[in-house]
A and B are shown apart, each in its own frame.
Chain A
Amino acid sequence: MEHASLAADFVKNDERAHWHDRSLWFVRSKRDKCAHALPEWELLRETASQIKLHLMSQLDRYLEEFERNATRLGAVVHWASDAAEHNQIVHDILLSHGVRKVVKSKSMLTEECHLNPFLERHGIEVIDTDLGERIVQLRDEGPSHIVMPAIHLKKEEIGELFHEHLGTEAGATDPQYLTEAARQHLREKFLGADAGLTGVNFAVAETGGIVVCTNEGNADLGTSLPRLHIACMGIEKLIPRAADLGVFLRLLARSATGQPITTYSSHFHGPREGGELHIVLVDNGRTDLLGSDEFRRSLNCIRCGACMNTCPVYRRSGGHSYEATVPGPIGSILAPARDAGHYHSLPFACSLCGSCTDVCPVKIDLHHQLLTWRKELALRKLVPWRKRVAMKLAAGVLKRTWLYALAGRFGRAMLRWMPRFLIYHRGNPWGKQRELPPAPKRAFRQLYRQERKRRGQS
């Protein structure tokens, strides 16, 4: 479905749409306080952007450096060119270790690869251990936000869900009570798991180490209890040096939730004693972006979600209206790169306000990339033909000054004389909730000419 109609459905529930907007604006405001408290904020953004651009210019070399160093530390590094290969690699590792139960901390990459349903089809239980992720998993739906996966849900709905699945009291809405129930439920899952899966926030080429950031400590428990740790990462998650980490860790949590730093920033340098660490490096379309001058910068993304929190459209249409793993402004760039035909409406789900570009901690020119996508879609004839024909017709008129002036005069006269029902009808989306501007008798060009004439005479 097109974003516009899913968004219209979301907006229909005015109270809920406003609640969603306010919840995310609250996060954006927290982020503002953090960003404005650091005098070097803009320098940090610029530095992060430069580091990522440098990395992308030599990604092949840095990936191999990372592989060498990670291997030296005792990790096993795997390379996957797409989602299917990634899923197969993970499954093979699990199979060879006889794993039946997996606990997973938040990883947008495994969402992107649809790893959970793949493993479940092969009889492996996968439990998401991030609270928000667990909630959407129990609801059998995807996350609506990359940092706050269940931000679209109210505590009453979570109370109902937990009552059904975890046996909490009916009608319970106290967040502390519900969280405690989830904690006990997840503790059991942690203890019974044969392997821990995590995402990766940063991988350091120079050291071969990886960093996982969480607020709940679930990645730490998930990798400390089972002996097998599989970490899955997109190849853009790399940074060159350990010294660069400070730049990104300071930007990430401030941008994401308005915290100075995530509660846990866990560094893994090879497997723990007696354990195994597998790192799966995934391309899945990233090298296509790398090869594109227009969209390369989108690989800077550190998945903080700030562009979603600030986006006036996302806040009012909800993450699910994008029908993509990553919603919001960055998702509207990444999704069409994967399947332009399916996601053609996303680059148009944007008023081009540019707030995402200014909020982005790694300086991705998001709204300009969305504009570039619109051009790309028009070239591939994926913009609705009515829009294209309308634009061609308009340009045909606007090219000829006399025709434009005449059409303007005619149009304004029609607006003045036509009965209201002929102007405000179903085919006029402008007029559904808005009045058209008043149609004056004279255009500016006529007024100006009269004025000059009058002056010439006086």
Chain B
Amino acid sequence: MKVGLFIPCYIDQFYPHVGMAVVRVLERLGVEVDYPEAQTCCGQPMANTGCADTAKPLAEKFLSVFEPYEYVVGPSGSCVAMVRHHYDELLHGRSGFDELKAKTFEFCEFLTDVLKLERIEGAFPHRVGVHQSCHGLRELRLGSSSEMNVPPFNKTRILLEGLRGISFSELSRADECCGFGGTFAVAEEAVSCMMGLDRIHDHEQAGTEVLTAGDMSCLMHLEGLLRRQKKSMRVMHVAEILDAAAGEAP
């Protein structure tokens, strides 16, 4: 099984250790990983600003870069949702596009749905707060959202639940948005930051030591607020926790 690693641009530039954690976790599970260096950005910032024509060449580039792979795996629900749900109007009818949509997975979902993992070995003796990144939750359905009356499930949390020593903080608002929202974070700075601070407050009340999410972009925003306020809460991508936990395996 050959996996083409999709490392979103901002992770490539600002959070290389998250990408490396993804590589290590996948390789430990016996997956053959390759990172095609020609990749840049999926085009989501342009598409979400309404500039579809500007996003199109980036979608075309993405398609050609990942064409050779059996699977495409990325540690970001939002970027994967872009490929799966919002490339339609940009790449409709292109050869290889239907295959691309079907073979592109968010990191956690790849572990639970393709590798069929139910638990991962390791230990992480910390109180973890899981932030449900919206696009993973409501676009990719990586978990049940609090609005809907469906049987509860959560693909991110199930992977963490098997780790020894881990405990979870329970929030008063289970899946409210952190306020990142791409260009929203700067265009609506006041509301964006209020939303972020409210999430942090909820996690503080619940005793979160390590704040995690499937999307580093939410964590970039929350970490920015935490660091400015000099708070001790740490942020880690889910892949980083799984990677660190494996180091603790017996």
Contacts and interface: CB of A to CB of B under 8 A. Distances in A.
Interface of A: 3-4, 7-8, 11-12, 14, 17-18, 21, 25, 32, 35-36, 38-39, 41-42, 310, 312-313, 316-317, 348-355, 357-359, 371, 373-379, 383, 387-388, 391-392, 394-395, 398-399, 401, 404, 408, 411-412, 429-430, 432-440, 442-449, 451
B55 A447 contact: no
A7 B190 contact: yes
A352 B182 contact: yes
Interface in B138-183: 138-139, 145-150, 173, 175-177, 179-183
Nearest to A401: B38
Contact of B134 (A351, A375, A412, A436): A351
A32 to B, nearest CB: 7
21 contacts: A12-B190, A21-B198, A310-B147, A349-B191, A351-B177, A353-B181, A355-B147, A355-B175, A388-B49, A391-B45, A391-B46, A394-B46, A395-B58, A434-B221, A435-B223, A436-B224, A440-B14, A440-B16, A442-B16, A444-B20, A449-B37
Contacts of B46: 391, 394-395
Interface residues of B, number: 76
A433 B118 CA distance: 40
Given A387-B183, A432-B193, A35 B188 contact: no
Nearest to A380: B50
B112 interface: no
Contact of B188 (A313, A354, A374, A395): A313
Interface of B: 7, 9-17, 19-20, 23, 35, 37-41, 43, 45-52, 54-55, 57-58, 61, 86, 134-135, 137-139, 145-150, 173, 175-177, 179-198, 220-221, 223-225, 227-228
A323 to B, nearest CB: 15
A188 B176 CA distance: 45
A432 B196 CA distance: 13
A39 B149 contact: yes
A25 B188 CA distance: 21
Contact of B50 (A36, A358, A376): A376
A137 to B, nearest CB: 29
A385 to B, nearest CB: 12
B77 to A, nearest CB: 11
B83 to A, nearest CB: 15
A391 B49 CA distance: 8
Contact of A32 (B19, B45, B55, B147): B147
Nearest to A42: B149
Nearest to A349: B188
B223 A437 contact: yes
B227 A447 contact: no
B181 A350 contact: yes
A429 B190 CA distance: 9
Contact of B194 (A11, A350, A378, A448): A11
Contacts of B54: 391-392, 395
Q: A-B pairs with the 4 shortest C-beta distances?
A: A351-B181, A434-B224, A374-B50, A378-B50
B221 A354 contact: no
B147 A312 contact: no
Nearest to A43: B149
A394 B47 CA distance: 12
B16 A371 contact: no
